[in-house]
Amino acid sequence: MEPGTLILYTDRPDHGVRLRGALDRIAPCRVLTIHDRAGGDAAGCAGLVADVDLLRPAAVQALRGLVASAGPGTPLICLMHGMGARSTAAARALGASLCLPVDTAPHVVTEAMLAHVQPGRSLAEAVVARGAYRAGAVITGLLDAARSTGTVDAAAIEGGLDPILTAVGAGGLTNWLATVRSYDDATYQHCLLVAGLAATFAIDLGFSERDRHQLVRAALVHDVGKARIPLAILNKPGPLDPAERTVMRDHAAFGHEILVAAGGFDPTVLAVVRHHHELLDGSGYPDGLSGGAIPDPVRLTTICDIYAALVERRPYRAPMPSAEAIGVLKGMTGKLDMALVHAFARTVSGS
């Protein structure tokens, strides 16, 4: 069982879907129904939510088995289908940490569980931590696969998109940046920062769900070509010299090659990966594109990418304060799309 897993034991599968969705925003959540053979299945779980009628002896017996296998001290929240004396006595006998009415909103149940399993952490912080963990697993898998096999699995990236959009939407960009900036690996930290910025930008610009996913997908994979850059350069604990910078610049074309060879990536994602270092005045790389040849999703990602690089924590320099980084973007007149830079500044300052 994944560490921190919550178990939802339910006799209402329809409601269980919504509650599972809410709980899954703070921790992995497994659903067991009264039809499952539950005994012993809760070993190692962090918390239990019981949404069963405690007047049903079979449900109580199965729940007792779950509580026993979970071990002493595991929080148990009972959603009470009735508040009669027999139900409350059954909940007390099971050692319930908290009893809530059956119609309690899923996010309230989730906050109540959070107070037990991660005391002192706000819901926003928990949602961000979980989203960063899930998206982090995707980006780690992507970079490891690109480095070890030279290819990536387009389908595996999909699992990272909603956790990022949910995390910045519910937890806020500031929480996302603070959480992700604490990671040590520079490439991993950078990809998650750019993806979180792109997600927030896409939400603020009113993008459709499809377009949000597309931009976050592109942002998440934009630097996959760094998998082909020697680690001595990639993880150098200091600024790159001109020769190293030349090697590093190959990552844009490498990333494009990797994704074309892997297949399954749409033209927008391919364009972002190849062209996110192009500048409107033609001074960027690898193709020296200029003006109208650079599509909007690329322009958006470039802005997120430059901002992320400036505010990142590096071993050899302090992160640049946000306002200063925005000042750098605003100073790149002629190179960046200034209408988008101003919209991005509002996105960052509104967080």
**Taking CB under 5 A as the rule, which mask of x and - marks residues 276-305 in contact with Fe ion?**
-----------------------------x
User: Which burial class, exposed, middle or buried, applies to 246 when counting CB atoms under 10 A from its CB (0-12, 13-18, 19+)?
Assistant: exposed
Cβ 188 to Fe ion, closest distance in Å?
Answer: 12
Determine what percent of the chain falls in helix, strand and coil, rounding each to the nearest 5. Answer: 60, 10, 30
Half-sphere exposure of 160 (CA within 13 A, CB side): 28
Please identify which residue in 24, 53, 125, 223 interacts with Fe ion, judged by CB under 5 A: 223
* Closer by beta carbon to Fe ion, 125 or else 305: 305
Window of 48-56, 143-151, 175-183, 221-229 that interacts with Fe ion by CB under 5 A: 221-229
* Closer by beta carbon to Fe ion, 145 or else 306: 306
Tell whether the torsion through CA atoms of 113, 119, 121 and 122 is positive or negative.
positive
Residues 14-43 that bind Fe ion (CB under 5 A): none
Using CA atoms, how far apart are residues 291 and 312, in angstroms rounded to an integer?
28
* Closer by beta carbon to Fe ion, 63 or else 139: 139
Among 85, 86, 95, 84, which residue's Cα sits nearest to residue 50? 95
Parallel/antiparallel/unpaired status of strands 47-51 and 6-10: parallel
Window of 13-21, 100-108, 174-182, 215-223 that interacts with Fe ion by CB under 5 A: 215-223
Total residues contacting Fe ion by CB under 5 A comes to 2
Cβ 54 to Fe ion, closest distance in Å?
Answer: 54
Cβ 223 to Fe ion, closest distance in Å?
Answer: 4
Cβ 153 to Fe ion, closest distance in Å?
Answer: 21
Q: How far is CA 114 from the centre of its chain?
A: 18
Binding site for Fe ion (CB under 5 A): 223, 305
